[in-house]
């Protein structure tokens, strides 16, 4: 009796072990499938660094872009896991070339006079020197806009971005009243804009989680999170001929303008980075480097850009 | 104890002169009994303006708002929002002219209470309409219920306004139950459905002591309840502005400032209302020069209170002239809006605070003119609170088309605003044509209880 029971216990154990083994193999297969997917071998070899420090050559199809994988399950409201986007604008480099404005407009399918990024002439005091001031949405860490939204259409994400769900927005414009930086813009359905949006329907919102062409809703700069997830810099950063705008990840402690990369903490320390209207307590995610030792002398803008109604 | 009260009430009604009561009943039912030619023309006119507003709204919603509405990114809130604030303020008339006077035993409230309450109900409804007109996506209105978040002041406002509307409607209709019975028994030659309506709305009223007792008890509870509710609706409406970081609204004074303004508007609105009603419906015996005298005094007091809050709101920041406030304040005091601003101060505060101090000015005609000025100024005051500051944000407005810099309401916007006014007057007019606008029983009761104040008034 007793022996028989032991025998059966052993048999069960073996069964369990076999099952576990099968599951592991199956899991492995599944895992491979997830990473490799249906991608066929490209024949192109790439060098990768293994965890133990060896450089090996593998087929490029074997290398999955983790950020793209993350993007596949990327929830607009939650944000990209493991990221904390941040921007640094070097006022010493801005010459009001307005390429950031134009790049942004073409990226988001907007026509002037709507600008998600504006370049303003600032002069802090009568004797103070004027300077150009590119201004985006500051993606504040204590955002006054998301607090007041009655329907949770604008929200703070884990990656630092303040997003807008244009399918949710009821167009009360309370967030616009709440934003002390006037960063938000409302889609009043300007006829030229409507026509343009319809025509370019296919390539609209090619970079962004939030749709900018929904009439009767609020939209704004959103740091182009889907481009960022793919490792592509926002248009305003890459289009700037002077490398004024730096974009990066606070967790990586690095920002880049596409050509130069800086350690964020050192850059802010060395160049005395500051945030606009710190006293409002909004905790912006956009830092400015003061316009000292400028690359360009300040020149008055000779033309006005947005005169057309 | 309770029996004693019942007996007392019984005696009150029994000692009332039947003859006097019948005359009064006839007078107060007259507007309901007979609608003259001008009455019909007036209603027709109001309906026409309302329809114009509906058509304007149709255009606004079907065509591009960039074309139909003057709002732009900087001035994103325009006349719809200031009109909303005006109507919320006006709806406090019910609190002041009915509830407060009733609870503080000012017997002269009696002929005023129903007028005040119906204006309050109409105004708060039109406040809601104004807000919907301001929405970018009115088709998503129900999202407020589906996705409403309690941290948003808009949701607070919806909650308190809905509660206030409900309470005000109940408070309007409960004291009307005996009046419905009166209508049912004394009106003649009215269509069947109208008589049926009176029958239903009188809820089987027989005037038994037990019914009177429960009626008075409910009215008292609601009267007490409506005061904090009224104060909250306007305070929360003030918070819609004060909870933002904008310098022109960044004030701890805002709730009290709005409520005091609403009380001033309430008194002025009441003066205009009774002045029109007593003339058109020939109710001079009930809305007497005494009422104008009392309301004139109230107007002075409320003006001074409002001036006090205005000093806090404008002169204290102006003394400091911090960089944050300077642009906006200079614009109001000596800039583009100066004429506008000082006219509102003159007609909306200085005149009502001083002129009615002279007894001769507290006569119906001069006081009505002053009060009418206060009502107009009050509308523009809300305009000045909401709109000009938006054109002076912290960061300068640069390189934008001309229409983005300065807001002037469009024809569509003004038509809709005019329609909200017409709709409010229409609600009050229609109400007064179906129900006695002055409560028969409340006045009858007052003639006995408040004899000294009403009959022996000099």
pLDDT above 70 for A13? no
Whole-number Å distance between alpha carbons of B12 and A152: 58
- Between CA B344 and CA B352, with CA B348 as vertex, the angle to 5 degrees is 145
What pLDDT score was predicted for residue A210? Answer: 61
Q: At what angle do helices B440-449 and B2-14 cross, to 10 degrees?
A: 100
* A83-116 pLDDT, tens digit each: 899 999 999 999 999 999 999 988 888 888 899 9
* B308-331 pLDDT, tens digit each: 999 999 999 999 998 888 889 999
First to last CA, chain B: 38
pLDDT, greater one: B17 or A43: A43
What pLDDT score was predicted for residue A9? Answer: 58
What pLDDT score was predicted for residue A28? Answer: 46
Whole-number Å distance between alpha carbons of A87 and A145: 19
Rounded to a whole number of angstroms, the distance from the CA of B111 to the nearest CA of chain A is 40
Residue B140: closest C-alpha in chain A: A170
Lowest mean pLDDT among A294-308, B59-73, B281-295: A294-308
Residue A217: closest C-alpha in chain B: B136
Q: With pLDDT > 90 as the criterion, what percentage of chain B qualifies?
A: 68
Question: Among the CATH numbers 1.20.1630.10, 3.40.50.720, 3.40.50.410, 3.10.20.30, which is that of B36-454?
Answer: 1.20.1630.10
* B366-401 pLDDT, tens digit each: 999 999 999 999 999 999 999 999 999 999 999 899
Whole-number Å distance between alpha carbons of A101 and A244: 13
What pLDDT score was predicted for residue B185? Answer: 85
pLDDT above 50 for A117? yes
Cis check: omega of the bond before B250, within 30 degrees of 0 = no
Q: Yes or no: say if B387 and B82 are a contact pair by the CB < 8 Å rule.
A: yes
What pLDDT score was predicted for residue A115? Answer: 92
What pLDDT score was predicted for residue B2? Answer: 45
Rounded to a whole number of angstroms, the distance from the CA of A37 to the nearest CA of chain B is 38
Give the confidence band of A43 by pLDDT, cuts at 50, 70, 90.
confident
Residue B148: closest C-alpha in chain A: A151
In chain A, which residues fall in CATH 3.30.70.20?
A: 85-289
pLDDT above 80 for A301? no
Which residues in chain B have their CB less than 8 angstroms from residue A307's CB? 401-402
B71: helix, coil or strand? coil
What is the phi/psi pair of residue A78, to 5°? -95, -35
* A224-261 pLDDT, tens digit each: 887 877 778 999 999 999 999 999 999 999 999 999 99
Bridge partners of residue A46, in order along the sequence: A58
B140 touches chain A (CB under 8 A): yes
Please choose, from the candidates B456, B436, B457, the residue with its C-alpha nearest in 3D space to the C-alpha of residue B178. Answer: B436
Q: How many CA atoms lie within 13 A of B398 on its CB side?
A: 17
A118: helix, coil or strand? strand
Q: Yes or no: say if A47 and A55 are a contact pair by the CB < 8 Å rule.
A: yes
Which residues in chain B have their CB less than 8 angstroms from residue A189's CB? 64-66
Which residues in chain B have their CB less than 8 angstroms from residue A169's CB? 136-137, 140
Give the confidence band of A4 by pLDDT, cuts at 50, 70, 90.
low
Tell me the two tokens of residue B353.
């605070």
What pLDDT score was predicted for residue A36? Answer: 45
* A150-189 pLDDT, tens digit each: 999 999 999 999 999 888 999 999 999 999 999 999 999 8
Buried b (16+ CB within 10 A) or exposed e, A120-142: eebeeeeeeeebbbbbbbbbbee
- Between CA A34 and CA A39, with CA A38 as vertex, the angle to 5 degrees is 100
What pLDDT score was predicted for residue B150? Answer: 93
**Contacting residues for B11 by C-beta, under 8 A, at least 6 apart:** none
What pLDDT score was predicted for residue B90? Answer: 96
Which residues in chain A have their CB less than 8 angstroms from residue B78's CB? none
pTM summary value: 0.87
Rounded to a whole number of angstroms, the distance from the CA of B37 to the nearest CA of chain A is 43
Task: Point out the residue among B69, B136, B245 whose CB comes nearest to the CB of A144.
Answer: B245
Lowest mean pLDDT among A141-145, B21-25, B176-180, B339-343: B21-25
Rounded to a whole number of angstroms, the distance from the CA of A115 to the nearest CA of chain B is 10
> Taking CB atoms and an 8 Å limit, are B136 and A181 in contact across chains?
no
Q: Yes or no: say if B334 and B342 are a contact pair by the CB < 8 Å rule.
A: no
pLDDT above 70 for B6? no
What is the phi/psi pair of residue A45, to 5°? -95, 140
Q: With pLDDT > 70 as the criterion, what percentage of chain B qualifies?
A: 93
Buried b (16+ CB within 10 A) or exposed e, B319-332: eeeeebbebbbebb
> Taking CB atoms and an 8 Å limit, are B246 and A306 in contact across chains?
no
Please choose, from the candidates A251, A221, A268, the residue with its C-alpha nearest in 3D space to the C-alpha of residue A85. Answer: A251
Tell me the two tokens of residue B37.
């030619």
What pLDDT score was predicted for residue B442? Answer: 82
Lowest mean pLDDT among A165-169, A304-308, B193-197: A304-308
The mean of the pLDDT values for chain B is 89
Lowest mean pLDDT among A277-286, B199-208, B225-234: B199-208
pLDDT above 50 for B13? no
What pLDDT score was predicted for residue A119? Answer: 93
* B241-278 pLDDT, tens digit each: 999 999 899 899 999 999 999 999 999 999 999 999 99
Mean pLDDT of A268-284: 94
pLDDT, greater one: A55 or B116: B116
Residue A72 CB coordination number (10 Å): 7
Please choose, from the candidates B253, B258, B297, B295, the residue with its C-alpha nearest in 3D space to the C-alpha of residue B274. Answer: B295
What pLDDT score was predicted for residue B418? Answer: 97
For residue B98, count CB atoms less than 10 angstroms from its CB and return exposed for 0-12, middle for 13-18, buried for 19 or more.
buried
Bridge partners of residue A132, in order along the sequence: A121
pLDDT, greater one: B425 or B97: B425
What pLDDT score was predicted for residue A20? Answer: 53
Helix (H) or strand (E) holding B334: none
Helices then strands (H, E): number in chain A?
9, 13
Dihedral angle, C-alpha B449, B455, B456, B458, nearest 10 °: 130
For residue A216, count CB atoms less than 10 angstroms from its CB and return exposed for 0-12, middle for 13-18, buried for 19 or more.
buried
Helix (H) or strand (E) holding A42: none
Give CATH for domain A85-289: 3.30.70.20
Please choose, from the candidates B327, B322, B347, the residue with its C-alpha nearest in 3D space to the C-alpha of residue B337. Answer: B327
Which residues in chain A have their CB less than 8 angstroms from residue B71's CB? 186, 188
Per domain, the residue ranges of chain B are 36-454
The mean of the pLDDT values for chain A is 82
- ipTM for the complex? 0.88
Rounded to a whole number of angstroms, the distance from the CA of B237 to the nearest CA of chain A is 13
pLDDT, greater one: A262 or A28: A262
A150 vs A116, A190, B130, CA distance in Å?
Answer: 23, 25, 17
Beta strands in A171-296 (DSSP E): 185-186, 218-219, 245-249, 254-256, 261-263, 286-289
Mean pLDDT of A271-300: 92
B405 touches chain A (CB under 8 A): no
Please choose, from the candidates B308, B339, B34, B336, the residue with its C-alpha nearest in 3D space to the C-alpha of residue B190. Answer: B34
Q: With pLDDT > 90 as the criterion, what percentage of chain A qualifies?
A: 49
């Amino acid at each position: 009796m007793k022996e028989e029971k032991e025998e059966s216990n052993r048999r069960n154990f073996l069964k369990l072990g076999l099952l576990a083994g099968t599951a592991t193999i199956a899991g492995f297969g599944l895992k491979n499938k997830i990473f490799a997917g249906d991608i066929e071998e490209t024949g192109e070899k790439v060098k990768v660094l293994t965890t133990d420090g060896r450089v090996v050559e593998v087929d490029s199809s074997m290398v999955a872009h983790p950020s793209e994988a993350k993007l596949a399950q990327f929830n607009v409201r939650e944000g990209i896991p493991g990221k904390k986007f941040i921007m640094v604008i070097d006022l010493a480099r801005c010459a009001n070339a307005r390429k950031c404005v134009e790049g942004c407009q073409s990226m988001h399918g907007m026509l002037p006079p709507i600008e998600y990024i504006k370049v303003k002439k600032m002069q802090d005091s009568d004797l103070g020197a004027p300077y150009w001031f590119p201004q985006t949405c500051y993606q504040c860490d204590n955002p006054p806009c998301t607090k007041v939204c009655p329907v949770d259409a604008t929200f703070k994400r884990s990656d630092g971005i303040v997003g807008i769900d244009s399918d949710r927005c009821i167009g009360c414009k309370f967030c616009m009243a709440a934003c002390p930086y006037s960063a938000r813009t409302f889609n009043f359905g300007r006829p030229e804009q409507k026509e343009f949006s319809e025509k370019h329907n296919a390539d609209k919102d090619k970079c962004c989680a939030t749709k900018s062409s929904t009439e009767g809703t609020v939209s704004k700069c959103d740091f182009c999170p889907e481009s960022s997830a793919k490792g592509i810099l926002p248009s305003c950063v890459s289009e700037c001929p002077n490398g004024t705008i730096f974009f990066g990840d606070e967790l990586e402690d690095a920002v880049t303008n596409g050509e130069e990369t800086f350690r964020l903490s050192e850059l802010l320390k060395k160049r005395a980075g500051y945030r606009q209207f710190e006293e409002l307590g909004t905790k912006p995610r956009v830092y400015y480097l003061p316009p000292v030792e400028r690359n360009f002398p300040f020149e008055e803008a000779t033309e006005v850009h947005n005169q057309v109604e | 104890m309770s029996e004693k009260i019942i007996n007392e009430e019984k005696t009150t009604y029994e000692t009332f002169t039947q003859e006097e009561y019948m005359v009064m009943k006839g007078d107060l039912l007259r507007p309901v009994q007979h609608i003259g030619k001008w009455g019909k023309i007036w209603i027709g006119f109001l309906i026409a303006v309302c329809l114009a507003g509906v058509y304007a709204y149709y255009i606004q919603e079907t065509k591009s708002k960039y074309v139909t509405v003057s709002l732009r990114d900087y001035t994103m809130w325009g006349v719809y929002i200031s009109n909303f604030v005006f109507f919320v303020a006006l709806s406090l008339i019910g609190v002041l002219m009915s509830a407060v006077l009733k609870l503080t035993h000012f017997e002269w409230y009696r002929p005023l209470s129903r007028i005040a309450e119906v204006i309050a109900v109409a105004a708060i409804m039109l406040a809601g309409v104004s807000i919907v007109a301001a929405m970018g996506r009115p088709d998503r209105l129900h999202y407020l219920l589906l996705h409403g978040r309690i941290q948003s002041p808009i949701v607070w406002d919806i909650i308190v306004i809905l509660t206030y509307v409900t309470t005000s409607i109940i408070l309007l209709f409960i004291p009307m139950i005996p009046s419905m019975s009166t209508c049912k028994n004394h009106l003649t030659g009215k269509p069947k459905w109208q008589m049926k309506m009176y029958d239903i709305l009188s809820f089987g009223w027989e005037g038994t002591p037990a019914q009177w007792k429960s009626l008075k008890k409910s009215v008292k509870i609601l009267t007490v309840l409506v005061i904090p509710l009224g104060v909250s609706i306007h305070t929360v409406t003030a918070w819609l502005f004060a909870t933002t970081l904008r310098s022109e609204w960044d004030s701890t004074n805002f709730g009290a400032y709005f409520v005091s303004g609403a009380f001033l508007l309430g008194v002025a609105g009441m003066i205009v209302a009774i002045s029109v009603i007593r003339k058109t419906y020939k109710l001079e015996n009930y809305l007497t020069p005494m009422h104008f005298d009392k309301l004139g005094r109230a107007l002075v007091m409320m003006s001074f209170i409002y001036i006090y809050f205005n000093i806090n709101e404008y002169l204290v920041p102006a003394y400091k002239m911090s960089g944050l406030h300077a642009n906006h304040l200079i614009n109001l005091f000596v800039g583009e809006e100066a004429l506008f601003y000082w006219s509102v101060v003159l007609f909306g505060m200085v005149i009502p605070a001083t002129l009615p101090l002279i007894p001769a000015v507290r006569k119906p005609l001069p006081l009505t003119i002053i009060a009418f000025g206060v009502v107009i100024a009050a509308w523009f005051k809300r305009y000045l609170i909401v709109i000009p500051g938006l054109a002076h944000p912290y960061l300068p407005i640069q390189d934008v088309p001309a229409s983005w810099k300065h807001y002037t309401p469009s024809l569509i916007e003004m038509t809709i605003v005019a329609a909200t006014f017409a709709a409010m007057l229409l609600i009050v007019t229609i109400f007064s044509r179906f129900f006695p606008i002055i409560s028969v029983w409340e006045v009858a009761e007052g003639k006995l209880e408040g004899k000294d104040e009403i009959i022996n008034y000099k």
